[in-house]
Amino acid sequence: MTQTKAEAIRELVIANRILSEEKILFEAFGHISMRNPENPNEFLLSRSLAASQVEEADIYTYDMDANCLTPTKKRSFAERVIYSSIYKQRPDVMAICHNHAQELIPFTVVDVPFRPVSHYGAPFYKGVPVYDNYDVSDGMLIKNEFEGERVARALGDKTALFLRGHGVIVVGESLRKCVMNSVFMKIDAQNQHNSLVLGTPKYLSYEEGKTCDERTWNGALSQERAWNYWTSKVVK
Amino acid sequence: MTQTKAEAIRELVIANRILSEEKILFEAFGHISMRNPENPNEFLLSRSLAASQVEEADIYTYDMDANCLTPTKKRSFAERVIYSSIYKQRPDVMAICHNHAQELIPFTVVDVPFRPVSHYGAPFYKGVPVYDNYDVSDGMLIKNEFEGERVARALGDKTALFLRGHGVIVVGESLRKCVMNSVFMKIDAQNQHNSLVLGTPKYLSYEEGKTCDERTWNGALSQERAWNYWTSKVVK
Amino acid sequence: MTQTKAEAIRELVIANRILSEEKILFEAFGHISMRNPENPNEFLLSRSLAASQVEEADIYTYDMDANCLTPTKKRSFAERVIYSSIYKQRPDVMAICHNHAQELIPFTVVDVPFRPVSHYGAPFYKGVPVYDNYDVSDGMLIKNEFEGERVARALGDKTALFLRGHGVIVVGESLRKCVMNSVFMKIDAQNQHNSLVLGTPKYLSYEEGKTCDERTWNGALSQERAWNYWTSKVVK
Amino acid sequence: MTQTKAEAIRELVIANRILSEEKILFEAFGHISMRNPENPNEFLLSRSLAASQVEEADIYTYDMDANCLTPTKKRSFAERVIYSSIYKQRPDVMAICHNHAQELIPFTVVDVPFRPVSHYGAPFYKGVPVYDNYDVSDGMLIKNEFEGERVARALGDKTALFLRGHGVIVVGESLRKCVMNSVFMKIDAQNQHNSLVLGTPKYLSYEEGKTCDERTWNGALSQERAWNYWTSKVVK
């Protein structure tokens, strides 16, 4: 689907609202960006603002060095180098969400791998590495280009990268898939937690995860139904 | 109570809303069907849509091969063979819900049996088997008639069947009992989880479960009170 | 405070709404009664109805054999013998709540005593016994006078009695204290659960619990503030 | 930012609403105070009232002996000596919240230290001591000046002090930072709990916590964004 930049901005506002409603972008922190569909060397991201409050006028355009191209005196997010670094290294990625969903934190600080136990976890069948190489002087945020590059390398070809004691970066081949991945990661993290507390779970096999992600979650049936549902909850 | 098909459709819409409100049919996935009261060889099911959005016009009629009899260009759920397969094998079953309630997932992947610890779990006194015989190529969904039949056989004469890493199928001798069973299964799963974390629970005996299900939950007093309450929350 | 029966009925309706809002009387089950302030040999209780739906006209009067004195064709709760049995044996008790709050269930089926870890648990400083002597043929409900008497005896002079695999009975020296006890029991059950999961809690001593219950929770300051708050949430 | 007393009162009302919305000041208990910006020897605190119900007229002024300076017949909180005692000993502290957030209770009764696992826990990098030296006769409340002083000493130069089996005291160098600290403490307590259940967490180092608190959470970017978000949820 070819999309104009204006359409993309409208969709990105909805994505912000959905991820706030889902308590993934919660308490004013975390954000989601997408590549400019009219120029793959730019990306769209709201200014420094809680996701629940984002309107179209708050979406700014950034270049691949994370410079803000939109004339403004308002502040940008400190961690926007996450996005420029990953968009440069992953041409297949069209959208990226950085969030601190509480369900995920244990998997970033405890020696327990994140492996899907339910079909909601299928998008993460390749595994989720943990980044733990901070510039401490940046207050545990990813704020400079060198750390941005380290993070992009640690992500590699995966769908998500944990940041130790901080949160996660989730990518998608479209904005809608990135939203779906972010929601599903939270659901399966809860499922994994609840299962691990009771015993040793049988995880999805690599093949099960891959097939489920490609055929079920990437299918038009699932994508449309989910996006329509999420939109119905935030657009009245 | 003899019911017309039109009345059944109205009740099925309410059932969808209740199960969405209860976070049993959540995030646009899972569904509930009922036998056509005017023709036991047909069943009623919404088109591919989130439960919270279902209206009467979205309820379609299907035959016992899961063919859609309602003229439409809109999509049907991929997993509707679950319903046709079970309705064929279980003449006592009038309604079936397939859901992914998060409280249930651990019992599908960990070697811990689902056994009632509270009277809400009584409908499951026969035990809940776990199905784990997927056609992986269908992305962990139950989409073809052969797998539908395997699932129906695995259910046998039970009230519910877990699908490993996916969810559950819950049946009922009426739509209202199917909704009650689905809600109560979620409640008792939480109770079991919370109990297992603290120690070794004393479960309901087989006789306690059977008697409680037959005399308390199947009684008019409980059925009416519960249905009126649930309806009051979703029909304003 | 002397109260008329009409005032008591209005307050009992509010108590029903509060306990529904707090998810203590949840999913249409459980109930709360109070002694008739104009006649200590009668008690007030709603007809068979979800707590969230109770209005003044739904409050009926019962005698000490649990007979309904209000002329009506509508159904009464099956378990109302719980109330008559306890009011007969405990003249100090002015109100009783029977509920199935999920936080409590583990303490009824696992060999872990309910002992206060936070000041919210202080009203239960005498301990909470577990009743496990069911007439199974009554579907795990307390429906006949003989079982009602066994339950009243098991309660003894305590503030609460667990019913194994079912729920709890909580009493109070006033309706407001009974509501407070019910809410606080749920809170401290959660606190106990969360503490037990992490280690061996230091519980309140008997003296701490007794003093806190008598001086803090029974004080006018706490009682008024709490009741005004709860009322503000359910009476608009 | 120099603030008038009238502005401070308006902000304190908002802080009450935020902490109620966040279920930190919940069920009518707990409170938050701030120093009078026009007179550092006075502090502002609502009268005895649930946080959700506080209006500007309910904010009274107290001196450093916890005497109420506002002419009124309405009751003050019993535990206001907590505030006077700490404001006297900690000139750097401009606001103090006393709350019973459920996530925190286990850390007050179990031998598990509260140490940040996520960047939300950074404000507590100095550790959180546990006070357990009650005058039992005060019903586990901090009601007299001698106990107030003991509590202030136990807090020392820390950001928070647990009260065993009761709750916490959280301070801040401004009202907004005190609200942020209170919210973040609840979030990281949940993160710690969830991590400890799964294994041995890697905690933030002292340096990571200190840097993150000073550079990230004390930065204007985080402070403004968070306060605007919280305000947007409670001021319509």
pLDDT in tens, B29-88: 999 999 999 999 999 999 999 999 999 999 999 999 999 999 999 999 999 999 999 999
How far is residue D77's CA from residue C207's CA, in Å, rounded to a whole number?
A: 23
Mean pLDDT of B107-114: 98
Which chain A positions have a beta carbon within 8 Å of B106's beta carbon?
Answer: 191, 194-195, 197-199, 201
Which residues of D are less than 8 Å from A140 in CB distance? 119, 122, 204, 208, 211-212, 216
What ipTM score was computed for the predicted complex, to two decimals? 0.96
Neighbouring-strand partners of residue C46: C59
Between these two residues, B68 and D221, which has the higher pLDDT value? B68
User: What are B144-163's pLDDT values in tens digits?
Assistant: 999 999 999 999 999 999 99
Domain layout of chain B by residue ranges? 5-234
> Which of B152, B52, B8, B47 minimizes the C-alpha distance to B93?
B152
- 3-state SS, chain D, equals CCCCHHHHHHHHHHHHHHHHHCCCCCCCCCEEEEEECCEEEEEEEECCCCHHHCCHHHEEEEECCCCECCCCCCCCCCCCHHHHHHHHHCCCCCEEEEECCHHHHHHHHCCCCCCCCCHHHHHHCCCCCEECCCCHHHCCCCCCHHHHHHHHHHHCCCCEEEECCCEEEEEECCHHHHHHHHHHHHHHHHHHHHHHHHCCCCCCCHHHHHHHHHHHHCCHHHHHHHHHHHHHHHCC
D53, D13 contact by CB (below 8 A): no
Q: Are C171 and C96 in contact (CB under 8 A)?
A: yes
Look over chain B and give the mean of its residue pLDDT values, rounded to a whole number.
97
Q: Would you call D110 and C195 a contact, using CB atoms and an 8 Å cutoff?
A: yes
What are D32-55's pLDDT values in tens digits? Answer: 999 999 999 999 999 999 999 999
| pLDDT (tens digit per residue) in D77-128 | 999 999 999 999 999 999 999 999 999 999 999 999 999 999 999 999 999 9
Backbone angles phi, psi at A96, to 5 degrees: -140, 135
What's chain D's average pLDDT? 97
- What residues in chain A have their Cβ under 8 A from chain D's Cβ atoms? 27-29, 48-50, 52-53, 75, 78, 100, 102-103, 105-106, 108-112, 132, 134, 136-141, 164-167, 193, 196-197
What's phi and psi for B227, nearest 5 deg? -65, -40
Residue A1 has pLDDT above 90, yes or no: no
Which residues in chain A have Cβ-Cβ distances shorter than 8 Å to D216? 139-141
Q: Which residues of D touch A48 (CB under 8 A)?
A: 221, 225
From residue C207, alpha-carbon distances to A180, C155, C185, C213, C221 in Å are: 54, 21, 18, 10, 21
Question: Residues D79, D145, D173, D208: which is the catalytic one?
Answer: D79
What are the structure tokens assigned to D120, written together? 């939300």
Burial of D150 (0-12, 13-18, 19+ CB in 10 A): middle
Instruction: Give pLDDT tens digits for C160-173.
Output: 999 999 999 999 99
Chain B, chain C: beta-carbon pairs less than 8 Å apart: 111
CA D68/CA C143 separation, integer angstroms:
55
Q: CA of D21 to nearest chain C CA: how many angstroms apart? A: 13
Beta bridge partners of D36: D39
Tell me the DSSP string of chain A: ----HHHHHHHHHHHHHHHHHTTSS-TT--EEEEEETTEEEEEEEE-SS-GGG--GGGEEEEETT--B-S--SSPPPTTTHHHHHHHHH-TT--EEEEE--GGGHHHHHSS-----SSGGGGGGTT---EE----GGGTTS--SHHHHHHHHHHHTT-SEEEETTTEEEEEESSHHHHHHHHHHHHHHHHHHHHHHHHS---PPPHHHHHHIIIIIITSHHHHHHHHHHHHHHH--
Which residue from B minimizes the CA distance to A115? Answer: B165
Q: How confident is the prediction along chain C (236 residues), in pLDDT tens digits per residue?
A: 589 999 999 999 999 999 999 999 999 999 999 999 999 999 999 999 999 999 999 999 999 999 999 999 999 999 999 999 999 999 999 999 999 999 999 999 999 999 999 999 999 999 999 999 999 899 899 999 999 999 999 999 999 999 999 999 999 999 999 999 999 999 999 999 999 999 999 999 999 999 999 999 999 889 999 999 999 999 98
Query: Does residue B57 sit in helix, strand or coil?
Result: helix
The pLDDT-based confidence of A220 (bands split at 50, 70, 90) is: confident
At residue D2 the predicted structure's pLDDT band, cuts being 50, 70 and 90, is confident
Residues of chain B contacting C, Cβ within 8 Å: 116-120, 122, 183, 187, 190-191, 194-195, 197-205, 207-208, 211-217, 219, 221-222, 225-226, 228-230, 232-233
Shortest Cα distance, chain C CAs vs residue B144, angstroms: 37
Nearest to C27 among B122, B183, B195 (CB): B183
What pLDDT, on a 0 to 100 scale, did the predictor assign at position C220?
Answer: 87
- CATH fold, domain A5-234, is L-fuculose-1-phosphate Aldolase (3.40.225)
The structure tokens 């409670």 sit at: D234
Residue B1 has pLDDT above 70, yes or no: no
pLDDT of residue A136: 86
Chain A residue with Cα closest to B52:
A229
> How much is the pLDDT for A192?
98
For residue A2, the model assigns a pLDDT of: 82
Query: What mean pLDDT is predicted for residues D145-173?
Result: 98
Does position A90 have pLDDT exceeding 60, yes or no? Answer: yes
What lies within 8 Å, CB to CB, of A62 at 6+ separation is A33, A42, A43, A44, A45, A68, A69, A76, A80, A83, A84
| For range D167-193, the mean pLDDT | 98
How far is C-alpha D208 from the chain's CA centre? Answer: 23
Give the mean model confidence (pLDDT) for residues D64-74. 97
Nearest to B190 by CA among C128, C100, D192, D189: C100
> How many Cβ atoms are within 10 Å of A25's Cβ, its own excluded?
27
Tell me, yes or no, if the pTM score tops 0.95.
Answer: yes
Ramachandran angles phi, psi of D32, nearest 5°:
-140, 140
CA distance C165 to C186: 16
pLDDT the model gives residue C114: 98
Q: What pLDDT is stored for residue C1 in this prediction?
A: 57
pLDDT in tens, B176-190: 999 999 999 999 999
